């Protein structure tokens, strides 16, 4: 079987076994996360702020910079689809300058990466699949009632045990437009799957 046929068969199996009723707008995204993880719990834990799917796709087609917290998430994004959508993707976690700033301040590299991402111009899709501290500068800015750019949205799906649930719940409470995987589950694979699902829903992107 060719890869597309395998994917189509997998999606058919997922749809036949899916027990949760999902709105048409979010169903392809949830199904792609289940496809990437074989974990049906995401049908219940993936949480979408109102209108977020269309908002994220609009940002992508406006040439958004998709900024990830790990090179693993970056690697999982379909680069051909990304190019056809007219967007870019980047990750600065391995940057020596980021590491130097983090060491000097006693902060995580993920936090520094978000601070730098917030200073960039233009539309941005900020993607967190691993490090919850990546989310903290944005959350703190929102909680301090400082303006959040209108051309910004967040995928918040870090995985783990420390600060993970707290970061996700604070992000949801912040009114920042986002997609969040509540609870401990998540990861770079989930983050990349969400980005790819967003890309594949844009006409002409997946050929």
Q: Which residues are catalytic?
A: 35
User: Which two three-digit tokens encode residue 31?
Assistant: 């199904």
Answer whether 177's CB lies under 8 Å from 49's CB: yes
CA contacts within 13 A on the Cβ side of 107 = 19
CA contacts within 13 A on the Cβ side of 62 = 16
- Give the contacts of 190 (CB within 8 A, at least 6 positions apart): 33, 36, 37, 42, 129, 157, 159, 181
CA distance 12 to 18: 10
User: Which two three-digit tokens encode residue 111?
Assistant: 């936090």
């Amino acid at each position: 079987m060719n890869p597309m046929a395998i994917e189509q068969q997998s999606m058919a199996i997922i749809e036949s076994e899916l027990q949760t009723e999902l709105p048409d707008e979010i169903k392809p995204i949830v199904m792609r996360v289940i496809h990437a993880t074989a974990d049906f719990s995401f049908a219940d834990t993936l949480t979408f702020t109102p209108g977020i799917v269309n908002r994220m796709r609009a940002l992508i087609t406006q040439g958004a910079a998709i900024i990830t917290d790990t090179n693993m998430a970056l690697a999982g994004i379909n680069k051909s689809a990304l190019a056809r959508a007219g967007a870019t993707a980047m990750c600065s976690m391995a940057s020596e300058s980021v590491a130097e700033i983090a060491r000097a301040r006693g902060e995580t590299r993920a936090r520094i990466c978000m601070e730098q991402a917030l200073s960039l111009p233009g539309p941005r899709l900020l993607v967190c699949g691993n490090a919850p501290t990546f989310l903290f500068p944005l959350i703190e800015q929102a909680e301090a009632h400082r303006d959040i750019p209108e051309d910004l949205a967040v995928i918040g799906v870090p995985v783990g045990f420390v600060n993970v649930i707290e970061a996700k719940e604070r992000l949801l409470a912040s009114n920042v437009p986002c997609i969040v995987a509540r609870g401990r589950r998540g990861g770079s694979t989930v983050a990349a799957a969400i980005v790819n699902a967003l890309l594949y829903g844009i006409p002409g992107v997946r050929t």
